[in-house]
């Protein structure tokens, strides 16, 4: 049941993004950035954590989950290190995702040739 719930919530977030792409003039980059900011804001006001507990991976894997991870990591770092945690928390909490993105992007660039259209 948890898999179905995660799939549904994650899919719902993707459907919302697809509707924004199809029905507005927003670029995909702005929608992606908006999702990260929305996840950050919803986490800051305490609304995203209940969604994470309810849908687990369905809420943490999309870009809203990245925003949630950033803000929770910063909050933990501030509690642990003080004001310097503002600068270190976001990177330490999301280092795995950032590293994977850089690694797989570099791998794809090495494996595939760029072709002009």
Contact criterion met (CB below 8 Å) for 90 and 76: no
What string of DSSP letters covers 32-85?
HHHHHHHHHHHHHTT-HHHHHHHHTHHHHSSHHHHHHHHHHHHHHHHHHHGGGH
Q: pLDDT band for 43, please (50, 70, 90 cuts).
A: very high
Instruction: Summarize the confidence of residues 12-33 as an average pLDDT.
Output: 94
33 CB neighbour count, 10 Å cutoff: 14
Q: What is the pTM of this model?
A: 0.80
Q: Answer yes or no: is pLDDT of 117 > 90.
A: no
Digit-coded pLDDT (tens) for 47-70:
999 999 999 888 888 889 999 999
Instruction: Summarize the confidence of residues 18-27 as an average pLDDT.
Output: 94
DSSP state for residue 24 in the 8-state scheme: S
Digit-coded pLDDT (tens) for 80-93:
999 999 999 988 88
């Amino acid at each position: 049941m948890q898999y179905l719930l995660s799939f549904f919530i994650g899919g719902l977030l993707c459907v919302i993004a697809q509707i924004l792409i199809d029905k507005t003039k927003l670029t995909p980059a702005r929608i992606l950035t908006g999702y990260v900011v929305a996840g950050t804001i919803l986490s800051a006001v305490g609304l995203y954590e209940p969604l994470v507990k309810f849908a687990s991976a369905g809420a943490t894997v999309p870009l809203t989950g990245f925003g949630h991870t950033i803000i929770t990591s910063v909050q933990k770092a501030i509690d642990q290190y003080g004001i310097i945690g503002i600068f270190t928390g976001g990177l330490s909490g999301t280092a795995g995702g950032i590293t994977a993105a850089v690694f797989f992007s570099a791998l794809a660039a090495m494996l595939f040739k760029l072709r002009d259209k």
